[in-house]
Structures are given as C-alpha cells and as structure tokens.
Structure 1
C-alpha cells in the first residue's frame, strides 16, 4: 500500500502500477480493533497489555510445572504420564507454548511502546531535504532507492501530491527511513534505525509474522491448540477439586485407632486409599482418612498411621502432601504410633517413589515405630497392592478384603 496526496492506494510491488484505492475490509477492521483495544480505546489497550502479561506468565509457569512433573528439564519432551486429560494437556502445552510465549512477550513489548514505557526509536527522523532535482518525475518502476528495498522490508511509501514539484517521496523501511527524489529516484536523506528502532522492528515482525509466512503459520497452529489446552486444563482442575472422595464411616481424627493419610497429585492414589479405608472399616477399625497436609499435631487414640503417597516429578511431594514434612516437625507421634508407608509411582522415572522414601525416613526420625517396611506400587500394579494388603492384615491379625482398584 502507498499513500498519494492523502489517499491510500494499492500498488503492484513489481511494476509500481496503481491498482486502485485501498480500503480495509470491515471484518479485518473489526478484528484489528478487537485485538488491539477491545473496542475501548486506551483503556482497552491497557487491558490487552494485561492479557499479554497473564498469557506470558501462564505459559512460562506451565513450562516450569511440566518440567517438574516430567522429572527435570532434560525429560521435558519425554512421554507424558497420568490420565487422558493430563496426557492431552501436556501434549497440547508442548505444541502451543512456544508460539504463546513469543506472541505474549512481543505483545507485551508493543503494549509498552503504545503507552510510552518503552522507547521505539521513532522520535529520530531524517532531516527534510532543502533541495530537489527539477525535472519530470521518474516512473515508480525506475526509482533506484525503491528498487533496492526488499518488499518484505517496506513499511511505508508516501508520495507527494502530483502538482507539488518540490515534494519528495517518504520511504520507511525495516532498516531506516528517508526521502527519495521524485526526478532522480536517489536518496535525498536517510536515517538508519537506532538500536531501539531495530529492536522494535524485530519485535514487530515476530509479533505480526510480516515477511515470514512460515512464522505466521506456526503461530497460528500454536494458537489453534489453545481451546484444547483450556478444556483439558479445566478437566484437570475439576478432577483435583473433587479429588477427595466421600468415605463411608470416616471417623474424626481424635477418635480413630487407624489414621490413613494420602498424598496424591491426581485421583489415582485416592482410589487405593479408599480401598484400604473400606477394608479396615469393615474389619471393625475406627478409621480416619485425610490428606497428608491434614496431619494433626497428635492423635489421642491412634495406634497406627498408614501413609499412601505418590511422588511428583523429580522426587517432589504431590500437592496434597506439600506441607506434610513441615507439619511433621511439630507433631507428637512417638513410638506408640506404628507407621507403614506405601509409595506409588512409575519406575520409568529415575526418582521412583523418592518422596515416599523421604516420608519413611522422616517418620523414623520422628520416633515412630515400624508397622511395615516401605513398599512400592509401580504404575498401579494390583498384585503389589494386594501383597501389601496381605502383609498389613497379618500384622493386624485380621482379614482384610481389599477391593481391586482400576486406574
């Protein structure tokens, strides 16, 4: 597009021939105003900047959380674990995050430019020429300065009015701005972009994809995955919100002779804990089952403490056990409380059941006696879980009928 005497025209970039007046379509104008300001002027532009900031923070924090879940940065691209929603969410995140980070960070930069918080280098203009070559105007196709500019680098081309014999052509490019003589086609003045302007031009191209069709395509694909990311993220949030199941006969913490504490990142460990709770309750025990973060300073009647916990990522505590070790330091359990720790995990990870081992060591350091040695369940292995149940039944001297668990 080019400006000519106040009008905006469509021009053939190969020949310079005028193709007609340019007027942006109503739909594209609507989309532009929605994207830049939500149809609300400066207030909308501010909101757009905040949205870019939020998107950048969500994207970056999502990468950190994914790396933590996968067991470190080196395993960031390894096969995902978890239920279907978690696997789809991880896959969608890997595909969309590069584009989202690029668009949000560049959008945040451009928002800062809009409000004068970041210098874009546009204040420095080339000196307007005092003399021009007299004579007939050269054809656009013969303008040497214009012919030397790659079309991808062209930002703005403005022609003077036809009757203005002393007028000059204003040419703005990705590398600099200047004025071109209408008669000779040579530069009359040129100002190379400062570093600030170069940064702006680079960010502008990265954000819009102008001149880089492949970048536009990749960013478009990344953005198209966002609905899947939102849906799976909502499902995961809802699953965690409803993580703790309704347990039959769950007595108060101070009335229980058996306390079952659960550390879980998803609903899987809770499924096993529910089976243990029901089996002990059916065997006549007063059972209190809760999250590991619900550890009490003391349990007045508890004789045994059973801890069922998963390990998150590279040996970390799952969400429902994040405060357990800190709370344990202030708990008064002692040798009268016998403990058994059952760890759940995936042996494909280097830190298989590492958090369960930390819990076992911490309980031993707290002076608790051992009901059963640490045992582990690899990827929901029903046989390993059943064997642990048999060992527990033998120690308690009762028959425990653990219901099969499917995860």
Structure 2
C-alpha cells in the first residue's frame, strides 16, 4: 500500500507539466496551416525530398516513387484476382477483400487457447523454414529465435508484430513478438508471411548475422538503414513462395496483402506530401485498394502524416533487391548461385542501397572473371 501511494503521488507530480504541454499543443493546432502534408510548410518540398533520400537511400523523386506504387498496386491486384479464380470466389476484388476480413474461418478464437494456437503455428512455420534454409543460404543465424505474445501491459500501444534482436553476448535470444490483444487483427492467412518477415529468413536472420560480424565498428553492427532492413524483410516474404511454401492459396493471398500494403504506402505517402492529398483522400485510397479495415487505414495515414517518407522505404528496398537479383541472374546465367547472392546481400550488414548495388556488381564481375 505504501508503494502504491508513493507511486500515485509521483504520477500526480507530472500533472502540471502535462497540462502545460496540452495547452501548448492545443494552441499550435489552432494556428496550424490548412492541409496535411509537408508541402504546406516553408521549404516543404525540399524537406520531403530530403526525407525520401534519407529513408530510401536513393535519388528517386516523389513522382517516380508515386508511379512505382501505382504500378505495383495494379500488379498485385492482378495476382489477387488470380487467387480469386483459383479458390472459385465469385464477385469483385472488393467483395473478396470483405470475405477475407469477415469470414471466421480465417481467425483463431479471441481466447487464451486461440492465442496459444497462433503462437504454436507461427513457431511451427519458422521451424519448417529453418529446415530449408541451407538450400538458400550459406551463413545461418547462430542466435536462438523465440515467438512470444506481446505482453498485456503494452498491447494497446504496440504494433501488430515486431522483432527484438538478440543480445550480442547471447544472453537474450531474438524475439518475434505477435500482438494478440484482438485476434481479429491477426488473420491466419497472414501468419506465414509475418513469421518469415519477423523471424527466418527475415529480420532474425539479417540482424543476428549482422550482430555477429567482426572487424567492423559498433555503429555498423547495431545501426541500420530502413530501406535495407525492411526491404530484406519484404523480400523474405516473397522468397518462400519460390521455395514451395504458401501451399494454401489463402496464405499466398496473405503474403500479397502485406506486399500490397507496402506498395500502397508509396502512393499515399507521396500523395499526402507531394500531390497535396488530404488525410481523408489518403485513407479512402487504402480502404478502396487494400483488404485492411478502415481502422488500419486511419492509423496508418496518421502515422505517415507525422513521419513523411519513412513508409516508402520498405517497397523501395525490396524492389532494389529483386532488381539486383534479376541483374545477377541475367549476367551470370548458369553461374548464378542463389546462396551466394544472399551471402553478398547479408555479409556486410545494413548498407545504403547504392552501396548494396556496388557490392552485387563487384560479385558479378568476380564470378565472370573466373
């Protein structure tokens, strides 16, 4: 009781500073310029271009990124329509989106048993993947990986899923956290792709290998570039398709739904900050073009408004990795080795995409030289 009283008094001591902060923010809201993107601010265009360059580590313009997003949204819609035909669904793509959102067959129960079933299946998916990793990778992560539920005390503020890297000394494993607060937010059809992205061969593989790199400064071992790390994560959602995973067409739809979300980000982020879209226009674009519910779309757009450019890094990174792989396959022909390509991508840790391109080109030249 003494500790509770002291804790209550300590919290109450913060009331006055927070009230002053609320007053300042309320005043700023009243004086804010109309519009939602940074275009409305002094030097807003230059600021946004700098943000795009920082997060994508490329020289792509806002319009180029916008166009990439539109093209990939159209491509993914076409692949989704092929799945509709495969499963015999009759109706529009929007009808299919609603079916995938609402049909109870795609969700575990919102109970402790349902949550445990999700954790068990995610663990099993990673274990199945682990058995196949040597076919596609040379260096494998040496740190353990665990799948855990986000703790109840932080569920409400935590994201859908995230990864915590292992301690360098091995005292803590890598952890894939799944937020199971509401099982309707965690469809079964996305379980596989999420497990590969957060676990193996995604963030765990990349970050565990980077953590163990030797003879490089600490900022290289523990720092990073969003386009590289999230581009790798998105690439490793796609790679398992080539490996023979996603045998259930609905799981493949889940993979595509996650890729579609990242493609749509290119459209709405540049829409907001370059094309002067309103918050409502951006929300409606996500609602109309993705299977995610309106709540997801609203939360996402509010994030993109206050973090201009960051959301573009994921798809840009994946597209660059795929571009480099296609180049290597084309130039090396029968000498192309997928295991060695992945080794080149991973063995130097996180780097800007321009540097990654130099590394891959140097490897191609080395192989060609014999």
TM over 0.5: no
TM-score range, shorter chain: under 0.3
Structure number with the higher strand fraction is 1
Which protein shows a greater Rg?
Answer: 1
Judging by fraction of residues, say which structure has more helix: 2
Normalization by structure 1: what TM-score?
Answer: 0.21
